[in-house]
Amino acid sequence: MDKIRIAILGGGAAALAAAYELSATPELRARFEIDLYQIGWRLGGKCASSRNRQERGRNEEHGLHVLGGFYHNVFSQLIPLYEEWMTVSPATAIPFATAFKGHNTFTLMQRQTDDWRALSVELPTNSKIPGVDPEAITPRVMLGRMVAWVSEALRRMASGDPPGMWLRAVEDWNAPAPGPQLVAMARRGDALADRLADATHLLHAGDFLSSIATHVGEVQKVARELGEGHPPRGPDWVGVIELIATIARGFIDDRLDARGFDSINGENANDWLIRHGGSARAVSCPLLQAGYHYSFAFENGDSTKPNIAAGVGIRGLLRMIFGYHGSVFMHMMGGMGEIIAAPYFEVLRARGVRFHFFHRVEELIPGDDGRLAEIKIRIQASPTAGPASYEPLFDHDAGDGGTLRRCWPEAPLFEQLADEDSVRQAGNLEKWIDSAGFGTERSLKVDEDFDLCITGMSIGTMRETTKRLGTVHRPWQDMLDAAGVTPTIAAQIWRWESAASFHGVSLDGLMTGYEAPHDTWGDMSFLVDLEQTDAKGARPQSLSYLCGPITPGPEAGRGMRPAIETKTWLEHFACGIFPGLKDDQGCYRLDGEIERYARINDDPIDLYVTSPAGSIDKRLRVDESGFPNLMLVGDWTRNNFDCGAVETAVLSAKLCARAISGAPVFIYGESDFA
């Protein structure tokens, strides 16, 4: 039997994960022949990174990337991927045990008049492994855990302690006066949580749910009163308690246990909380607002316009808190390109997947028979040894006796290209705008070059390449019109001092919710040992990553904007969280800074996917393209996570592969109820 020829467009996380699923077994490899077409010279999409061979082999990222310990679809792929990688490239593959490290502490910033309040969070480590036997975190389970958490928080406050199960105790905590009311409420909450834990479902539990609603409503009222009587010094623990109680109240009022989170995606999360009695204090609580920053959820990058669908935001927050294994976050011990994209590439190539680098998709064309008929491509460069022969990785040696790493370069490996001179003179071949018009045209035609197409391109690129599909299939156009995207900004700063010398939030290593556009910071100093030393044999002592959403800028001066925006932010805001970086005049101190790398991701390829209220029901599922030979993968598809994340991309890929192969595979998180 002839193999089904699959053309995968794009080389981001979703496209790679789909190729992985469709080539996972000898039986699947006997059924499918896979060709993957990628613009430019790297894989990874928004997860791409490179080692700059001209700058000490330093890693340069698209932004601050951290995996979640609740990314169970991601890790359920990565664990066997790494096992296979060790057999494919034993000399340079990175052992899974050393590729990731857990991280459980972070700081959430909250504006307080003209100053800022920091909320330090420390989630407990557990012995579980991400991706291995994850528990279904259903709405019923979430509700029970919220009620139990609130009870414990009330009990601790009644004894004069901050609710430090998650929230780090601080010296300036001003506890409310102890009283029997808090203890009584805690005991009642314990009993309700126990009943919830024993319940298998709540479809016919109206009286029981009413009891919970009454309880959490009283908690909301008491928390508001405590807050009014005790304006917080330091972290606002009481606001967190009111927030969790308000979410629990919304669960019951809207019967999310039966209707699921999608039922509230028409509302902004902030508005949903207000509708369920949340005060301004609860809504502004950094535990919630961090979700907006974590997912860049601001309309067109405008930090004054937060917008995330309530179901997406609340589901994501509670999965993160209640569903993680090991640690809430998992740092990658290297650039994302070498930790994620490189093992996919080497394993998939060994399985027989053909990679066509320097192939820019120009347009998808529908046919008269209702199928996708043609894929127009522009070939940007021609490898000397043949179309699919380009070897994209190079060996990076950090020195000090470390092992070699296979990494992506900051520019094409020109020596492999027959048209080296013209490619050197071209614009940035990874970018949609910069590479326009460069290269020779080619068409892939159905029944000749492919039988089935999977598009894993970014939603920004699809708006450029699939306009004709929208004229044939109206839901396609509706999806393109409704999809939320935002530009982002990212910077990396290397300094001679350690992060501890900044005397700020460096203790936590991660911070979000601060001043735009660099509202998020991460201490990535543990990566400097992977870089080469300078001419004197020295390395930086700290490496800071900064990122955040940013509004679109004018085309004029586009190339200089990342450096200007980053310089302005450092001058105005860096010392607000890092007083140790002040100079004698109280300004940001350049002395001690070694290098700086900044970029703005405003190209259609790079735009971050957001989830604004009212947009989720316009998303298409993986098999809803309207064309029987066109399947979809990406974090922009409808998949029950529905936000910009690697977990969403891999979840989408698994759904797509199952739809193609017909295998009856259970996929974690595809439903709120399983």
- Distance between CA atoms of residues 141 and 333, nearest Å: 33
Quick one: 17 and 132 in the same domain? no
CATH of the domain at 381: 3.50.50.60
Quick one: 319 and 350 in the same domain? no
- Distance between CA atoms of residues 392 and 80, nearest Å: 23
Q: Is the dihedral of CA 319, 321, 322, 324 positive or negative?
A: positive
Contact between residue 393 and residue 5 where contact means Cβ atoms under 8 Å apart = no
- Distance between CA atoms of residues 159 and 334, nearest Å: 45
- Asked, for residue 667, whether it belongs to a domain, the answer is no
Contact between residue 230 and residue 176 where contact means Cβ atoms under 8 Å apart = yes
- Distance between CA atoms of residues 389 and 65, nearest Å: 30
**Mean pLDDT per 10-residue run, the chain (674 residues)?**
94 98 97 98 96 96 96 98 98 96 92 82 93 93 93 85 63 65 91 84 76 94 76 66 95 94 98 96 89 95 97 96 96 97 98 98 98 98 92 93 91 96 94 96 98 98 97 97 97 96 86 96 96 93 98 91 98 95 95 97 97 98 98 98 97 98 93 90
- Distance between CA atoms of residues 216 and 146, nearest Å: 10
Contact between residue 492 and residue 597 where contact means Cβ atoms under 8 Å apart = yes
Residue 507 CA: distances (Å) to CA of 502, 511, 524, 669? 10, 10, 12, 33
Place of tokens 């080296």: 420
- Distance between CA atoms of residues 346 and 342, nearest Å: 6
- Asked, for residue 133, whether it belongs to a domain, the answer is yes
Closest CA to 459 of 300, 633, 613: 633
pTM attached to this predicted model: 0.96
Predicted confidence at residue 157, as pLDDT, reads: 81
408 residue type, one letter? W
| SS3 of residue 641 by DSSP | coil
Quick one: 14 and 120 in the same domain? no
Closest CA to 608 of 298, 377, 325, 309: 298
- Asked, for residue 72, whether it belongs to a domain, the answer is yes
Quick one: 379 and 441 in the same domain? yes
- Asked, for residue 671, whether it belongs to a domain, the answer is no
Predicted confidence at residue 207, as pLDDT, reads: 86
b/e code 384-409 from CB counts within 10 Å (16+ = b): eeebeebebbbebebeeeeeebbbbb
Give the domain range for residue 616: 4-101+332-484+607-661
- 460's tokens: 């920004």
Closest CA to 511 of 549, 551, 550, 544: 544
517 prior amide bond cis, ω within 30: yes
Quick one: 434 and 539 in the same domain? no
Domain boundary among 326, 357, 376: 326
Q: Count of CB atoms within 10 A of residue 70's CB?
A: 28
- Distance between CA atoms of residues 329 and 504, nearest Å: 21
Contact between residue 19 and residue 316 where contact means Cβ atoms under 8 Å apart = no
Domain boundary among 311, 326, 341: 326
Residues ≥6 apart with Cβ < 8 Å to 557: 564
Predicted confidence at residue 581, as pLDDT, reads: 97
- Distance between CA atoms of residues 667 and 655, nearest Å: 7
Predicted confidence at residue 566, as pLDDT, reads: 98
- Distance between CA atoms of residues 100 and 360, nearest Å: 33
Quick one: 452 and 557 in the same domain? no
Closest CA to 65 of 301, 316, 323, 337: 337
- Distance between CA atoms of residues 335 and 49, nearest Å: 6
Quick one: 65 and 188 in the same domain? no
- Asked, for residue 341, whether it belongs to a domain, the answer is yes
- Asked, for residue 363, whether it belongs to a domain, the answer is yes
Quick one: 448 and 522 in the same domain? no
Quick one: 258 and 351 in the same domain? no
Quick one: 152 and 232 in the same domain? yes
Contact between residue 647 and residue 74 where contact means Cβ atoms under 8 Å apart = yes
The greatest distance separating any two alpha carbons of the chain, rounded to the nearest whole angstrom, comes to: 81
- Distance between CA atoms of residues 306 and 267, nearest Å: 12
Predicted confidence at residue 163, as pLDDT, reads: 64
Domain boundary among 305, 326, 347: 326
Quick one: 186 and 54 in the same domain? no
Quick one: 395 and 415 in the same domain? yes
- Domain count for the chain, please give it: 3
- Asked, for residue 669, whether it belongs to a domain, the answer is no
- Asked, for residue 401, whether it belongs to a domain, the answer is yes
Strand ranges across the sheet with 510-512: 115-122, 105-112, 510-512, 520-523, 542-549, 488-495, 593-601
